[in-house]
Structure 1
Amino acid sequence: MVKTSFAAIAVILILSLSSSCIEDGIDSSPSSQPVFSVDTLDMGHYFTGQLTPTSRFMVYNRCGKVLNISDISLRGESSGLFRVNVDGYAGVEFHDVQIRPGDSIYVFVDAMLPANSDPRPVTVEGHVDFVTNGVTSTVVLKASGQDVVRKNGVEVVSDETWDATYPYQIFDSLVVAHGATLRLLPGTKLCFHDKSYMRVYGSLVTEGVPGAWVEMAGDRMGNVVGGIPFDLMASQWDGLHIAPESSGNRLSHTIVRNTVGGVLVDSLAEADFLNCRIRNSAGYALSARHAGVRLVGCEVADASLGALSATGGVIEANHCTFANYYLFTAPRGPVVQIYHYSPGSDDSSGLPYLKASITNSILYGLGTDFSVGDLSGTDVVLRSCVMKSAGRDDENFVNCMWDTDPMYAVVREEYIFDYRLADVSPALSHADASLTLPDAAVDYWGCPRFPAPRPGAYQNSPE
């Protein structure tokens, strides 16, 4: 009992002395101030009327003693827009926050940005003031708010035209009914929320132009972590499904990205794609099942299962880049895959075998470039294409450049996925101008291809 009492007294004395040392060790000099990881916390660009993701900054004590921040507070109107959490505690004001020598605390910030009644993004600022030893330091908070038109479970039942005045945020679904046409004017942006999808039974017409592309993408902005932007992340929304027998679909200068299943053109449907970028899918970037698909000047790239999957139907591809440097898994199949193209690949559908013409295009990326199989006697022909495979020409592969790295401007480790060709690419002059379709005379960026068209989707090189 005596030993236990002495031990208890000893513990009390140690704690008391420790507390006394900490108290005595507080630095009260006005010159002793916290150090901040940022002067201005730029939270990025978000839609108004909904809570932003959480941003953060750090507050360091570089002094030799404990630093006591007597007051931390949001200044004035800041408290109506921004919310802060200091080292695990939420509030508007915080008092006597102590930081030990060499230690730090986190400050977390989010915001609810008000509607602007303005088509342009509007930047708002707030201020977090830190008072330490009678001196006030300030971290500026900055966020940009974009008004948005929200659509939840929308069905277009008659012809509609959507413009680029505001982005459209799609929840649940966007469906174009039989007999209806949805027309998207230059610069229109459709931003799909998690698990939402678009299905077209009628017709979809997009009228993007160079510099005012139509975009269909996930609704998350900024970076996932570090330097990885959400633009590169697949599985943000389910994707675009052009339903069986849908016709009149014409997509021009349109970007479709961040999907679970990419773009699917289903049985007996028809779709034309001009200078489009279809990319970043957890499945295939583009699938065609017994459908009629025309691709001119398109980039089809970066998907877990492969860039293009074509089963039966009719495929025409001119000046396209089929590439796969998908970031998050090793590609599970060739860049371009074909099925139901011969009796040996029959899928028992009873529908015609694949008829495919791929010209002045590039098939190159991680893994293999093209499905393995005997094309003899089939209607699958590649002309003047740049191939990764070390093959040779025959009646199905005509004037192809084999075993050649086209030298994309891709720097995967820096998250740069630019499929334009470097000026020193060995493939620059391989395209056959006589095969360049009239629609392909100008590329995605508005660059004329003539008089010396390059293979693939892009005529210009990165600066």
Structure 2
Amino acid sequence: MKRLISCLAFLVVLLTACKKESFINSADARVNISTDSLRFDTVFTSVGSITQSFKISNDNDQKLRLSQVKLMGGSNSPFRININGVAANELSNIDIAAEDSIYVFVSVTVDPSTANLPFILSDSISIQYNGNQRWVQLEAYGQNARFINAGLINSNTLWDATKPYVILDFLNVAPGASLTILPGTKIYAHANAPIIIDGTLNATGSVSAPISFSGDRLDAPYRNYPASWPGIIFRSSSLNNHMQFVKVLNAYQAVIVDQPATNANPKLVIDQCIIDNAYDAGIFARNTSIAASNVLISNCANNISIQAGGSYNFIHCTAASYSNNFLLHKTPVLSVSNFTLQNGSPVSSNLQANFTNCIFWGDAGFVDNEVIVRKEGSAPFSVSFNNSLFRAQNEPTAATLINVIRNQEPLFDSIDVSNRYFDFRHTKSPAPGINAGLVSSISKDLDNNNRPVGLPDMGCFEKQ
């Protein structure tokens, strides 16, 4: 009896093994291909893309033989494929074990051309088995660009919008030199590529053709990550800088302004600009001078950080942060101080800072006071808030407050954290910032809409 049972068990194992080793030949074999298309967002010429993949699964209890997997464009295709670990444009007789799968990896490299506008590249992968043929479509957007590798600008230079600029190592505008950027120009920086201004930056866009600075990873999800690139740094010798209709997106520290100007002008004049999604500071200013109007600083870890004194005039600006998938809002949107610590002791400098018709707001949770003002020492100190709105449990006692609105929701038009959609206009009634500003010389808002002759709205947007 024991011998009979052993023989039967052996036969069961043998039959099972034979079944698994046999191939399914039916055209109705269950084969799952994880996608029918792969799309690559903007790929700069010569740089190459990320690698994407799809899976071919054999959902049968027998082995499956793929008669062919083929990149139809072959060696002339800008796409490259790797089939289950084999780099080849075509592979035949690929076996997939029962209830197993293989991966096909795809990348694309775009050859330079004379085109200025983005162009579409396409190809397809054919998958054949048991008389069936299925397809995965491939599509990429190619973009010619001007590449800057360890770029030093030591004379007056003009950048236009015909092709984007990709900074691979760093860009440095030398003392005495200037970089002028025309409307519509797009600048993309590599992860370790800061833009360093020792001379002068004049970036003047328009409402219909803004200038943009961002990281060079344009594929999802990387295009939305903070800290995608270092940011713009205005160093001690820099002077007479101007930014208008500029977007600075997804930097580590978006705009750093360091040390006083060497003349009587503000070191940076920034108007009608958007600074968004910085991993650390949106604007970091240290003992310097900034004139800012109609600027939106949104969803940064530290929207505005002013240290070690200086001279600042912010008018019609909005600084707002909400916790999202990338950043927790856990520091005030505005921090102002007149000192730095040296060997653990505060060293103070002169500070004059005026905030007029501004909104400083963030979601409640980790931050009790969205505005922090700190004073040390006896150096001249003047910080004032005029006709501004902010959220704070405690008023900043070191500052002068005139006609401020505290702890009233600004009623922004849309705060959709789950979809990362934020509209910091405030057109809903009764938004407290509407017609609550102080009459000023600022005649336009961030959208370049007219502000009224009478009382304007607080913040960077004017209700129309």
> What's the TM-score once normalised by structure 1's chain length?
0.86
State the partner residue of 2:424: 419
Query: Deviation of residue 456 (structure 1)?
Result: 1.4
State the partner residue of 1:348: 347
Q: Which amino acid aligns with 2:445?
A: D
Match of 2:20 among 22, 32, 42: 22
- Classify the secondary structure of the residue corresponding to 1:413: coil
- Classify the secondary structure of the residue corresponding to 1:334: coil
Q: Which runs of 5+ in 1 are unaligned?
A: 1-6, 225-229
C-alpha distance 453-37 of structure 1, shift in aligned 2 (>3 A): farther
Aligned residue pairs total 443
Distance in 1, matches of 2:158 and 2:370, equals 39
Moved more, 290-299 or 394-403: 394-403
C-alpha distance 381-125 of structure 1, shift in aligned 2 (>3 A): same
2:376 aligned with 1:371:
no
Is 1:259–1:280's contact at 8 Å kept on the other side of the alignment?
yes
State the partner residue of 2:449: 447
Query: Deviation of residue 176 (structure 1)?
Result: 0.9
Is 2:373–2:396's contact at 8 Å kept on the other side of the alignment?
no
Moved more, 451-460 or 380-389: 451-460
Deviations 1:352-379 (Å, cap 9, x if unpaired)? 2x1111111110014231115579x942
C-alpha distance 68-252 of structure 1, shift in aligned 2 (>3 A): same
2:407 aligned with 1:389:
no
Query: Deviation of residue 460 (structure 1)?
Result: 5.7
Q: Which amino acid aligns with 1:444?
A: L
Query: Deviation of residue 222 (structure 1)?
Result: 1.8
State the partner residue of 1:293: 290
Write the mapping of 1:160-309 to structure 2, written as runs, cut at 5 A.
160-224=157-221, 230-269=222-261, 270-309=267-306
Distance in 2, matches of 1:252 and 1:243, equals 20
C-alpha distance 430-97 of structure 1, shift in aligned 2 (>3 A): farther
- Classify the secondary structure of the residue corresponding to 1:421: coil
- Classify the secondary structure of the residue corresponding to 1:22: helix
2:439 aligned with 1:434:
yes
State the partner residue of 2:331: 333
Is 2:23–2:65's contact at 8 Å kept on the other side of the alignment?
no
Distance in 1, matches of 2:100 and 2:67, equals 17
Is 1:306–1:331's contact at 8 Å kept on the other side of the alignment?
no
Query: Deviation of residue 205 (structure 1)?
Result: 0.2
Match of 1:156 among 153, 156, 163: 153
C-alpha distance 59-425 of structure 1, shift in aligned 2 (>3 A): farther
Distance in 1, matches of 2:250 and 2:86, equals 35
- Classify the secondary structure of the residue corresponding to 2:425: strand
2:139 aligned with 1:138:
no
C-alpha distance 20-424 of structure 1, shift in aligned 2 (>3 A): farther
Moved more, 69-78 or 118-127: 69-78
State the partner residue of 1:80: 77
Compute the RMSD of aligned alpha carbons.
3.2
C-alpha distance 89-384 of structure 1, shift in aligned 2 (>3 A): same
C-alpha distance 232-39 of structure 1, shift in aligned 2 (>3 A): closer
Match of 1:123 among 96, 120, 124: 120
Moved more, 70-79 or 127-136: 70-79
Query: Deviation of residue 54 (structure 1)?
Result: 1.2
Task: Give the share of equivalent positions with the same residue, in percent.
Answer: 26
Query: Deviation of residue 102 (structure 1)?
Result: 6.0
- Classify the secondary structure of the residue corresponding to 1:259: coil
Query: Deviation of residue 151 (structure 1)?
Result: 0.8
State the partner residue of 1:404: 408
Is 2:434–2:463's contact at 8 Å kept on the other side of the alignment?
no
Match of 2:42 among 40, 45, 60: 45
C-alpha distance 280-69 of structure 1, shift in aligned 2 (>3 A): same
Distance in 2, matches of 1:197 and 1:252, equals 20
Distance in 1, matches of 2:201 and 2:331, equals 30
C-alpha distance 263-387 of structure 1, shift in aligned 2 (>3 A): same
- Classify the secondary structure of the residue corresponding to 1:51: coil
Deviations 1:300-321 (Å, cap 9, x if unpaired)? 2333344333431111111111
Query: Deviation of residue 81 (structure 1)?
Result: 1.4
